[in-house]
Amino acid sequence: MAIEPLFGTRAQQAFIITIAVQAIVVITMVALTFGIVRAEVGSSFEELGYKTLPCYLALFILAEIFELLMAFDALRSRNIIQLMGIVLFHAALIVFSALQIHETRVAIFGCQAPCTTDPNDLWNKVQRFLIVSPCIIAASWVFLIFWIKQLYAEFGWVIFHVVGANPRFKSMYQFYQIFICLLKFDFFCFVGVTMQLLIVVLSSNSAEFGVTVAAIPVVVILLAGCARAVKHEVRWMMMIALVLMVAAMTYLYKLVRFYEPSSEQQYYSTRATLTVFTVVAFLLLLCSFAIGIKCLRDFDKGLHESKTHGQSYTPVKTQVIDVFRMRGMTERQSSYFPGGAPLQQQISIE
């Protein structure tokens, strides 16, 4: 049989189309919410505490683009681990979109400055659009699970293609795939937290704003260096990356600022989302660190070739000659073989 190329099967096409359609619908709903509030409030948009809405819009655009790229990459490389990660990420989007209903309501009814727009009237206008988002994401999540079951059957043999039948190599390669997948989600969570802080909370002339901006290239270099180190098995680089990863976990101290009396008002409109993003980012870093140590221990054990060339997977053709279809021929031609033995089933990989 022939192994189909990228987007060559119904399951692959349906999987990417499901993500693309829900992304368009959700971003449209978020944009409508933002546009309605902006039109009603006018020029005093930021002064009235509605900055959570552009943050909401920016985060969803980032999340949907990130998920679409992750899905394309998973289908291209036939990566089952990454497909599972996308399912978990999509479930997290359901939670995030539900949190935004609460936080948008807090922003509308909790503005500190005088407002000419009736909060109840404004809330009634945007509530329906906010509710549509988690419903659409949840519905698409069910479809994604259905398609991933088919993709699992379609891609399940690829690890064998990359590392062979050795169960030890298979286990090491799976940990490598999990680690690379975690690094990608680490990047998203870091960008998500940073975006919220820059848009909603921090003043552009504050020292914390400068530190937050400066941290962006440092973290990007850290994650990219960590991915390169584990792929090419550069031991010293991997050890430095793991140490820096532990240092990055201290970012959890931000939770104190979200809730301490002296600064809680600064975060009131986005505190729930910031808390979720910060805790998830910490847990992802912790998992990345633990699995990174496992990957470091697997260096120089024969997996380097599979890491560097296994992801450049291209479909291959397989041909199966069915013994039952050839039974008549094998029986007739058995006299041509020593002892009269018939032909056995043949499997060839070209």
In the predicted model, what is the mean pLDDT of residues 305-330? 48
Give the residue extent of every domain in the chain.
1-156, 165-315, 318-349
pTM of the model: 0.78
**pLDDT tens-digit map of 267-277:** 766 777 788 88
Coil, strand, or helix at residue 103? helix
Q: Measure the CA–CA gap between 217 and 232, rounded to whole angstroms.
A: 22
End-to-end CA distance of the chain: 11
Phi, psi dihedral angles at 318 (to 5 degrees): -120, 145
Give the chain's radius of gyration (CA, Å).
26
Coil, strand, or helix at residue 133? helix
**pLDDT tens-digit map of 274-314:** 888 888 888 999 999 999 999 999 888 877 777 676 554 44
What pLDDT, on a 0 to 100 scale, did the predictor assign at position 334? 42
Q: With 0-12 CB in 10 A as exposed, 13-18 as middle and 19+ as buried, what is 235? A: exposed
Start-end of H helices in the chain = 10-41, 52-77, 80-109, 119-155, 158-163, 167-196, 207-232, 235-248, 254-259, 271-297, 304-310, 327-333
pLDDT at 51 over 80: no
